[in-house]
Amino acid sequence: MFDQCQWINEPAQWRIEDGTLFVTTDASTDFWRKTHYGFIRDNGHVFAASANGDFSAEVTVDGDFSALYDQAGLMVRESAERWVKAGAEYNDGALTFSTVLTNDFSDWSLGSPASGNRFRLRMTVADGVLKMQCSADERHWTLMRIAPFASTTASPHWLVGPMCCTPERGGLTVRFSDFKIGPPIVKDLHDTSL
């Protein structure tokens, strides 16, 4: 799938080896709009493929998280003003699952602590709803967030892919593997099976 991706804010250091994307973040990178801090940052790294209409995307993330706001996960992006990122973020000395939903203004929601630096993420956009899930054991999914996320156009076109950034430093190394985009996986909200 990585052969169908293009960079939004290409980092200085990256490579694909044996189906794994290795990324080292540039300094002071982030995706955030306005809320609380007052600034706009749109310089984080995303290796994105196109998705039209409804879809599910998944990726396995393995990162060397250690500094405040180190983060990696998946991004779904319609524009610089309208996007969502979900993954894990290092905050207050611990790695925590996190989501940011942006519709001109960003919000930030922290979830449960991550049990390790390796995890799997799934985002599903279907019928105007975005469902974000994570899996620490690659056997069961945990709901991170569900939110309205209908396209602003008649023919939805999304950029979807692995995302990472480091607002307070540079040099976070992240490994992304088994990235895929396919038809939407629509299950009962409380069905945690893979």
Predicted confidence at residue 136, as pLDDT, reads 86
Whole-Å CA distances, 81 to 31, 45, 142, 148, 193: 10, 16, 27, 16, 33
62 beta partners: 118, 175
* pLDDT value at 190 more than 80: no
* pLDDT value at 161 more than 80: yes
* pLDDT value at 194 more than 70: no
Stated pTM of the model: 0.94
Per cent of the chain over pLDDT 90 is: 80
pLDDT tens figures, 49-97: 999 999 999 999 999 999 999 999 999 999 999 999 999 999 999 999 9
Predicted confidence at residue 191, as pLDDT, reads 75
Q: Which two tokens stand for residue 123?
A: 């985002």
Residue 193: which pLDDT band, with cuts at 50, 70 and 90? confident
* pLDDT value at 45 more than 70: yes
Angle in degrees, CA 72, 75, 76, rounded to 5 = 170
Report the CATH number of the 2-182 domain. 2.60.120.200
Predicted confidence at residue 133, as pLDDT, reads 95
